[in-house]
Amino acid sequence: MKYLRHFALVSALITPSLLVAAPSLDDKSAFIADLVGRMTLEEKVGQLRLISIGGDMPRERIREEMAAGRIGATFNSVVRPENRPMQEAALRSRLGIPVFFAYDIIHGHRTTFPIGLGLASSWDIAAIENSARVAAFEASADGLDMTFAPTVDISRDPRWGRTSEGFGEDPYLVSRIATAMVHGFQGKDPSDPQRIMASVKHFALYGAVEGGRDYNVVDMSPMRMYQDYLPPYRAAIDAGAGGVMVALNAINGVPASANTWLLRDLLRREWGFKGVALSDHGAITELLRHGVAADGRDAARLAITAGVGMSMADTLYDQELPALVRSGAVPQSVLDEAVTHVLNTKYDLGLFHDPFRRIGRAEDDPADVNAESRLHRADARAMARDSLVLLENHGDTLPLSKKTTVALIGPLADSPVDMLGSWSAVGVAEQAVTLRKGMETVLAGQGKLLYAVGANVTDDAHVINYLNQLNWDRPEVVLDKRTPQQMLEEAVRVAAQADVIVAAVGEARGMSHESSSRTRLDLPDSQQALLRALKATGKPLVLVLMNGRPLALSWEKDNADAMLETWYSGIEGGHAIADVLFGEHNPSGKLPISFPRSVGQIPTYYNHLRLGRPYTPGTPGNYTSQYFEEPNGPLYPFGYGLSYSEFQLSAPKLSAERMGPDEKIRVSVTLKNAGSRAGASVVQLYLHDEAASVIRPVKELKDFRRVKLEAGETRELSFEIDEPMLRFYNASLQHVSEPGAFRVQLGLDSESVQEARFELLPRQ
């Protein structure tokens, strides 16, 4: 088939008069309006269908449906030879409208970068944007047009399995990353053939599900929504995200997929969103189970009226919308609006100009579709190194000598699939560098590496059965068939021969995933038994954690000589972790989410509201807000992370003590690397409103600077504070600042800060 690169030409082959009548392709609004006017009711409904490839419908039937104009887009078809026949079929339809191809590209496509929490731990906005750029380059080379990302749900309950996908607990940091990810995916123009369109998710408030249990309800005050949970979605949309995926949860009693206030009043009218709103998988049918729809007809009516444009892996639009529109139960204008958004998306992707702009010609298909992953491994390694957070390092246990004998022990030490983490797109586990491989490479010809599994990730039969039923291409947990005692004895024997123990422990990746909520945050019993046995050997004990959520690590904090949080660090993770363990790279990661002392402390987050009876450390007695079994506050606070260098931060100096509404205050601070090696740290600026019309948080992150310094180097940093930084949503949902006193706090984490005070003057 000859590839036709202009919609009017495609149409002309079918209806010659269209070539004359159709508006110019350069006039987007007129072109789309004219196209909508030419469509039949069934063709319009077809544009709203987003189907899953690999589901119940055979490929031949899918192509027939596309040729009939009854499918608008697909997801889960990945490579060009798979997508090309479908696009060709779509162009054979009466109007020749192309389809677009989407996929879940969360933290890399073929080159797997660290999971979301890992990316956020770098606090390196430029590097995070680059990771999305690489993902877009690889995905577009595979023929994909859109990703269901970034995931920007604020998460303050680590029991929620999807904590791993997002960027943590703080609205400002997550908003900065949301903007960077959208820019990385889309560039300046999503029609660029080496870019893809971002579809931000999950709109909205998905990270606040009750009890941290996936798909659960959310009940939240509007003020908290606007102040804490909505800003990252708004940031992604302001950055130009072309799509929004609607969340599966209910919000204050109304499912997001039937929530007119959310999708029309807020998203489109207040925020001005012009792109396409997509349901999550099967969400429209789920309106029946939510109990807000009496039947499928009612569910389809509710969803499209509320503003859900495309229906993902759901048949109700196809089955019910034609009759709903003919009867007048759904106005024609509502359907036309939804179709217009879909067609605008295809126009913005450049598909009307060239339906094959990312698919290309068959003769140009690469012989090796994984070649891209080898092009970008250096980017993945650099990103992974900067995502690692050093939690403990007693007596300078780390870095390790390259001439030592190391016992590497643990169920995650040599597990390539777990290096990739959840939602690893088309990353190939066999290409991932495990910790064992990374350490072998460093120690080759110098030291010696001994290895033992030591324990299974878990011995809980219920958990194992659950994980192995997840939709992966292999069992999620591969068990060692020996008894737990046999594995422990081997681990102790191996440890006895070494100078130091490195224990790789944590969660299998399926334990931090969609639908993988947990009631416990400690390590599984099998791994706790292993660590206790290793501790009893008396050898220095270094823990390498691999996990997708904050864990409760009180025993580990008290007993490990060093502890490194690595999350799931991606395809180059083994090399990156070894780089840090042996001092080739100085760790600089900072936590984007607080680590609670126990599951009973949840929620634990740094920017909590002030209290009338706050707990005051060192003051005995009851009747203050506390748990009496353990200290208040996190085990590891937001923004925390150690280095092999000692970074010293001076007290902040303000350019003025009073600021008018149209003025700025400059905050100066000096950072010194007092250590003996080059490194990086993150200077964090927090603000505290001393008195306001509503309760304000104890502090809020408002700016940060990631700074690299040579050994002994000192640098003066300058931050600016202006009136918009002081605004908040009041009880009337007005975004305002109020005159009065503020404290500016500078630190290298959210707890250890130095303060200065200034006053915002009233407007004259």
467-481: per-residue pLDDT in tens?
888 755 566 778 899
Q: Of 52-56, 191-195, 312-316, where does mean pLDDT reach its minimum?
A: 52-56
DSSP letters along 139-180, please?
A: HHHTT--EE---B------TTSGGGGGS--S-HHHHHHHHHH
Beta bridge partners of 563: 392, 543
Nearest CA-CA partner of 330 in 354, 352, 303: 303
C-alpha–C-alpha distance, residues 53 and 56, integer Å = 8
16 pLDDT tier (thresholds 50, 70, 90): very low
Three-state helix/strand/coil letters over 205-220:
CHHHCHHHCCCCCECC
DSSP letters along 362-430, please?
A: GGG--S-TTHHHHHSHHHHHHHHHHH-EEEEEGGG--SPPTTSEEEEESTTTT-HHHHH-SS-TT--GG
Beta bridge partners of 546: 506
C-alpha–C-alpha distance, residues 388 and 756, integer Å = 31
C-alpha–C-alpha distance, residues 137 and 109, integer Å = 9
Percent of the chain with pLDDT over 90: 90
What is the rounded average pLDDT of the residues 359-369? 90
pLDDT in tens, 231-244: 999 999 999 999 99
The pLDDT assigned to 517 comes to: 96
Question: Of 280, 314, 379, 689, which one is the catalytic site residue?
Answer: 280
CA 467, 473, 477, 478 dihedral sign is positive
C-alpha–C-alpha distance, residues 592 and 151, integer Å = 15
Q: Of 200-204, 295-299, 549-553, 623-627, where does mean pLDDT reach its minimum?
A: 623-627
Angle between helical axes of 171-186 and 125-141 (0-180°, round to 10): 40
The pLDDT assigned to 1 comes to: 35
Rg (CA), the chain: 27
The pLDDT assigned to 372 comes to: 57
The pLDDT assigned to 375 comes to: 86
The pLDDT assigned to 620 comes to: 66
CA 652 → CA 682, 686, 719, 742, distances in Å? 15, 12, 10, 14
348 is catalytic: no
Flag whether pLDDT at 3 surpasses 80: no
Domains, the chain, ranges and CATH?
A: 102-333+345-360 (3.20.20.300), 384-601 (3.40.50.1700), 647-760 (2.60.40.10)
17 pLDDT tier (thresholds 50, 70, 90): very low
pLDDT in tens, 390-442: 999 999 999 999 999 999 999 999 999 999 999 999 999 999 999 999 999 99
Phi, psi of 51 (to 5 degrees): -100, 155
Nearest CA-CA partner of 681 in 689, 670, 671: 671
C-alpha–C-alpha distance, residues 229 and 327, integer Å = 39
C-alpha–C-alpha distance, residues 108 and 100, integer Å = 20
CA 598, 602, 608, 610 dihedral sign is negative
What is the rounded average pLDDT of the residues 262-276? 98
pLDDT in tens, 580-625: 999 999 999 999 999 999 999 999 999 999 999 998 877 766 789 9
Flag whether pLDDT at 2 surpasses 60: no
pLDDT in tens, 723-732: 999 999 999 9
pLDDT in tens, 101-112: 999 999 999 999
State whether residue 272 is helix, strand or coil.
coil
C-alpha–C-alpha distance, residues 312 and 383, integer Å = 33
For all residues of the chain together, what is the average pLDDT?
95
Percent of the chain with pLDDT over 70: 96
The pLDDT assigned to 476 comes to: 74
C-alpha–C-alpha distance, residues 508 and 126, integer Å = 30
The pLDDT assigned to 22 comes to: 72
Flag whether pLDDT at 13 surpasses 50: no
